[in-house]
Structure 1
Amino acid sequence: MQKGRIIKAISGFYYIKDAHNQIYQTRARGVFRLQKVTPVVGDYVEFESDNLEEGTLTKVLPRKNELSRPLIANVDVGVIVTSVVDPKLSTALLDRFLVHLEKNHIQPVIYISKMDIANDHEKIAVKDIVYEYEKIGYHVIAVDEPSKEEAISKIKNAFAKDFNQHTIMFMGQSGAGKSTLLNLLDENLNLKTGQTSQALGRGKHTTRTIELLPLLGGEFADTPGFSTLNFEGIEQVELTEYFPEMLCRRDMCRFTGCLHDREPKCAIKSAVAQNEISEFRYQNYLNFLDEIRQQVKY
């Protein structure tokens, strides 16, 4: 029995890298279908193989987390790449990503791209947004046209542990600059980059599949860009847990299970009124809460 990690999955084939960086092409046992288990990129697995091209994936080991979009498991850090312009920065979309990372206990890092093409008004607006997220405790990277050395330094400094012990997922809206950032971190990747569609206001999809690749001693996943995420599997009362600035005040509310919406004597609403919690974050929370309510109806 051999052990390894799935680094790519295409058309029913699973490519597994073992501890010696040898890559095996395998197919999953039919029993997975009966057990309703689907192996995904990032899974640690057991497999059998006499050669590099005809192996059998026999067991998926327990996961510490799993995302359905993008479909990947066992992620340590999620780098959310969002641009100032082209496409325009959306705190609503950024907060959607943050909620999903918080839910899966993945350390978030916010990387704001295209600062070099933003005008003065846009840069001032972004600085205000950066301040709000840093006040919460998020690590935010926003620099004008970073050099390779600066980009590497700031990305590495965002992690609490050694870089080479992380599996890092780069995620964000299409056209925000994920592939551009990764090419800056490692020019040998030579990932395709795309321009933003002027008609739709969003980027063309340049990343089609998920694959784990080496980066600066660790592993990373560049994921297909997307601009929609739902809150399937998240209960109304649970949503507060994924807003750190609200979670730390939740027990101060008068009512247990307070949704911080229409309830009286709510500590969260009081904190918003006193500018301790940003108005835009609270509004995003209410919008997400309403979306969850609508999902329950249907």
Structure 2
Amino acid sequence: MPEGKIIKALSGFYYVKDENGELIQCRGRGVFRKNKVTPLVGDYVVFQAENDTDGYILEVLERKNELVRPPIANVDQAILVFSAIKPDFSPLLLDRFLVLVESNDIEPIICISKTDLISKDAVQEIENFARSYREIGYRVLLTSTKEREGLDQLLPLLDNQISVFAGQSGVGKSSLLNTLRPDLDLETNEISMSLGRGKHTTRHVELIEVAGGLVADTPGFSSLEFLTIEAEELSYCFPEIYKVGANCKFRGCTHISEPKCAVRQGVEDGRIEQFRYDHYVSFYEEIKERKPRY
């Protein structure tokens, strides 16, 4: 039986690209509903073609990861697009996205957009944040679609990868993709000045070919709650805290109040940024206070 990858899902149809690059419009077999399996964009599947253009999906192959919102599987990396201004850069929101991405074993790439719109004073602040995240080990790009800044660094990173573009509404995800591939002509909306946020302009999940890879232009994570992360696992999602925490005196140290905590000492001596530690504590308490789900 032939195999392929779902690159688009719309109105009950799954569009599967086969090994020859041909697109087959497929429906899912009823057995999926019975087994509570929902094919997702990004899935590798076994299918049966009834003719050159139509067929049925018979089997969904094992996934390495899956996201619920947006519904997509087998993601290699997330391009986290955060604007320098309009809306203002938010390290708190960025860290929330980073935790969600890290917890799904997805490689994050931080992309700070609209750098052409900020003042010289603000540029320094943004560059300081960029340096902090780079020192942790994250790849950080400063981009401007107007000035075409940083795009030459981004394009090679997309090659042969399944990437999602995620971030707040109005940060310029669609503008960035339009600049990388002008023929896409994705709809973009200006920021609502009263709300300080844009409207979602993307209505379904589809993988589109950009720079030798596949990119999902999605509305980002519509849920930013830590529903599947346990408090004890949170430090794994802060690489620098996890690394320094290996030297804590007590095994299973939460890095909140235990004596001889290497992480708190790391904050004091500057090896861990205070704002990152503050976000860790805030997220830890949020997870601890989460109501149990049954």
Deviations 1:29-88 (A, max 9, x none): 111122121111100001111225541111000111111122111111111000011111
CA distance in 2, matches of 1:25, 1:134: 43
* Matching residue's letter, 1:173: Q
> Aligned equivalents of 1:82 and 1:38: distance in 2?
31
Give the corresponding residue for 1:90. 90
Measured in 1, the distance between the counterparts of 2:118 and 2:151 equals: 22
**Which position in structure 2 is the counterpart of 1:283?**
278
Q: Which amino acid aligns with 1:137?
A: G
For the Cα contact (< 8 Å) 1:254–1:265, is it kept in 2? Answer: yes
Q: 1:179 aligns with which of 174, 178, 182?
A: 174
Report the Cα distance in structure 2 between the residues aligned to 1:75 and 1:53, rounded to whole angstroms. 26
Name the SS of the counterpart of 1:249 in structure 2: helix
Runs of 4+ in 1 over 3 A off after TM superposition: 143-148, 225-228
Q: Structure 1 238/154 Cα, relative in aligned 2: closer, same or farther at 3 Å?
A: same
- Counterpart residue number, 1:43: 43
Equivalent residue, structure 2, for 1:60: 60
Residue 191 of structure 1: CA displacement?
A: 0.9
Equivalences for residues 68-217 of structure 1 within 5 A: 68-144=68-144, 147-148=147-148, 151-156=150-155, 159=157, 163-217=158-212
Residue equivalent to 2:254: 259
Residues 236 and 293, structure 1, Cα contact 8 Å, conserved in 2: yes
Q: Tell me the alpha carbon deviations over residues 227-247 of structure 1, each in whole angstroms, 9 at most, x when there is no partner.
A: 641111111110000110011
Q: Tell me, yes or no, if the aligned pair for 1:93 and 1:227 is still in contact at 8 Å.
A: no
Q: How many angstroms does 1:13 deviate by?
A: 1.3
Cα distance, 1:156 vs structure 2: 3.6
Counterpart selection for 2:235 from 211, 231, 240: 240
Kept after mapping to 2: 8 A contact 1:174/1:227: no
> Which residue identity lines up with residue 36 of structure 1 in the other structure?
K
RMSD between aligned residues: 1.7
User: How much does 1:12 deviate?
Assistant: 1.6
2:185 maps to a residue whose letter is N
1:152–1:119 CA distance, 2 compared to 1 (3 A): closer
Q: Distance in 1 between matches of 2:8 and 2:77?
A: 19
* Match 1:222 to one of 217, 224, 236: 217
Query: Which AA in structure 1 matches 2:102?
Result: E
Q: 1:274 aligns with which of 269, 272, 275?
A: 269
What CA deviation, in whole Å up to 9, does each residue of 1:147-191 have, x standing for no partner?
55x54421145x4xxx43211111111100011111111111111
Aligned with 2:265: secondary structure? helix
CA contact (8 A) 1:205 1:225 kept: no
Q: Relative to structure 1, is the Cα distance of residues 138 and 146 closer, same or farther in structure 2, using a 3 angstrom cutoff?
A: farther
Quick one: structure 1 residues 11 and 39, their matched pair in 2 at CA, closer, same or farther if it must change by over 3 Å?
same
Which residue identity is paired with 2:154? Answer: I
Identical counterparts, % of pairs: 46
TM-score normalised by L of structure 2: 0.94
- Provide TM-score, normalisation by structure 1: 0.93
Question: Among residues 286, 290, 294, which one is paired with 1:295 in the alignment?
Answer: 290
Instruction: For residue 143 of structure 1, report the CA deviation from its aligned partner.
Output: 4.1
In structure 2, what is the Cα distance between the partners aligned to 1:64 and 1:225? 20
Q: Which runs of 5+ in 1 are unaligned?
A: none
Q: Does 1:231 align with 2:230?
A: no
Q: Distance in 1 between matches of 2:107 and 2:221?
A: 20
Q: Tell me how far 1:204 sits from its aligned partner.
A: 1.1
Q: Distance in 2 between matches of 1:134 and 1:227?
A: 27
2: CA distance, partners of 1:225 / 1:75: 13
SS in 1 for 2:6: strand
Deviations 1:101-132 (A, max 9, x none): 21222111111111111122322221111111
